[in-house]
């Protein structure tokens, strides 16, 4: 080979190298996002995407999101989770306990990040918070504990309250734990708890009609129920109602006690980032919220003719007027 041919070959190789490297760009990861269509799901989706963008994940450029909602039919979650498996997503982020359980049932292999799931040990999502093992980790929403706190808040708001109804979402596996925590708090505070299981949205008004006979002093609402509809019915039947779910108070409910969502969903994004970079879910300890917010809807209180104790108002993180 003469000198000119040799130099031409070398130059051609050097020019081809960047093109070859360009053609071997890392595969864009696909993240499946599975949610229960409850009030607050859109807020979660917005905050989670914002947190992911801060970590460098931009939809369509550095990550591809496959978002799926059960559209108010929780029995659709298993098929939606199976669809994500068929799409071969690299990670599933599940919002609320039923979504996390559906994802677990669908795959033992694809990593799953809980973006707030109630009591993951009791629900069988993980066996240990510090060493979850398997393919699931993320954020525990402490929903059971917060439901118990709602009993305490009711007694602070209505010191004479002695009977509280608990509306539980029967199709949600977490309903059992939800009621257990409320019953424990009722025993500790000397409050009688009347559990009411709701199987379908259409049963809600009938439940309030029945409560006109039993006349509980207040109602505690499980977050996975259609909380906006419950808030409307509570006003219609003049029943003080609280929930461990901020959108409930924002939608007209009397009071909510809920974790700071930006913190929890931001941490869920951090879990996703670590896993996409190679970490194993089973090696990442499940985390719990550290910040909580008390929201009181003063407008609703006035409509119900209630006077909120000043001490409780002073402790509120937000008062809706």
Spatial contact of 111 and 120, defined as CB atoms under 8 Å apart:
no
144 pLDDT exceeds 80?
no
Distances, alpha carbon 241 to alpha carbons 93, 225, 288, in Å:
31, 13, 26
| d(C-alpha 48, C-alpha 63), whole Å | 13
In the chain, the percentage of residues whose pLDDT exceeds 90 is 77
pLDDT band at 174 (very low <50, low <70, confident <90, very high): confident
Beta bridge partners of 193: 164
Model confidence pLDDT, tens digit, residues 213-256: 999 999 999 988 889 999 999 999 999 999 998 999 999 999 99
Beta bridge partners of 34: 68, 94
Model confidence pLDDT, tens digit, residues 152-172: 999 999 998 999 999 999 988
Structure tokens at 148: 């118990």
Architecture of domain 30-141+260-290: 3-Layer(aba) Sandwich (3.40)
Structure tokens at 293: 């917010």
Model confidence pLDDT, tens digit, residues 268-301: 999 999 999 999 999 999 999 999 999 999 999 9
- Average pLDDT score over the chain: 90
- In terms of pLDDT, which residue wins out, 51 or 290? 51
Question: What's the pTM?
Answer: 0.83
Longest CA–CA span in the chain (Å) reads 103
Lowest model confidence (mean pLDDT) among 7-21, 26-40, 68-82, 176-190: 7-21
13 pLDDT exceeds 70?
no
Spatial contact of 166 and 211, defined as CB atoms under 8 Å apart:
no
**Which 3 state secondary structure label does DSSP give 32?**
strand
Spatial contact of 126 and 120, defined as CB atoms under 8 Å apart:
yes
Q: Give the residue extent of every domain in the chain.
A: 30-141+260-290, 144-258+293-320
Q: Residue 14's pLDDT is what?
A: 45
Q: Where are the beta strands (DSSP E) in the chain?
A: 30-35, 64-69, 91-95, 112-117, 136-140, 163-169, 192-198, 218-221, 241-243, 255-259, 292-297, 318-320
Do 30-141+260-290 and 144-258+293-320 share a fold? yes
118 pLDDT exceeds 50?
yes
**Which 3 state secondary structure label does DSSP give 282?**
helix
Architecture of domain 144-258+293-320: 3-Layer(aba) Sandwich (3.40)
């Amino acid at each position: 080979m003469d000198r000119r041919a040799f130099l031409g070959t070398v130059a051609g190789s050097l020019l081809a190298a960047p093109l070859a490297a360009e053609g071997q760009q890392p595969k864009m990861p696909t993240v499946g996002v599975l949610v229960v269509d409850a009030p607050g799901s859109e807020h979660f989706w917005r905050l989670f995407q914002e947190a992911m963008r801060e970590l460098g994940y931009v939809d369509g450029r550095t990550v591809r999101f496959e978002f799926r909602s059960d559209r108010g039919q929780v029995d659709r979650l298993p098929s939606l989770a199976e669809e994500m498996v068929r799409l071969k997503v690299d990670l599933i982020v599940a919002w609320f306990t039923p979504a996390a359980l559906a994802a677990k049932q669908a795959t033992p292999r694809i990593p799953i990040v809980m973006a707030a799931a109630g009591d993951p040990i009791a629900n069988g999502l993980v066996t240990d918070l510090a060493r979850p093992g398997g393919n699931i980790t993320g954020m525990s929403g402490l929903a059971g504990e917060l439901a118990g706190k709602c009993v305490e808040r009711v007694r602070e708001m209505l010191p004479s309250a002695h009977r509280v109804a608990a509306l539980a979402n029967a199709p949600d596996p977490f309903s059992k734990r939800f009621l257990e925590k409320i019953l424990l708090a009722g025993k500790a505070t000397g409050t009688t708890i009347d559990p009411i299981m709701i199987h379908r949205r259409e049963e809600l008004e009938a439940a309030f009609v029945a409560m006109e006979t039993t006349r509980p002093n207040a109602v505690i609402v499980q977050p996975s129920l259609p909380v906006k509809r419950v808030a409307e019915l509570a006003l219609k039947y003049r029943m003080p109602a609280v929930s461990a779910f901020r959108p409930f108070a924002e939608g007209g409910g009397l009071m909510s006690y809920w974790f700071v969502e930006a913190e929890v969903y931001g941490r869920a994004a951090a879990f996703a980032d670590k896993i996409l970079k190679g970490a194993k879910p089973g090696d990442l300890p499940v985390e719990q919220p550290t910040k909580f917010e008390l929201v009181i809807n003063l407008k609703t209180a006035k409509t119900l003719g209630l006077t909120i104790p000043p001490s409780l108002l002073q402790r509120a993180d937000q008062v809706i007027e």
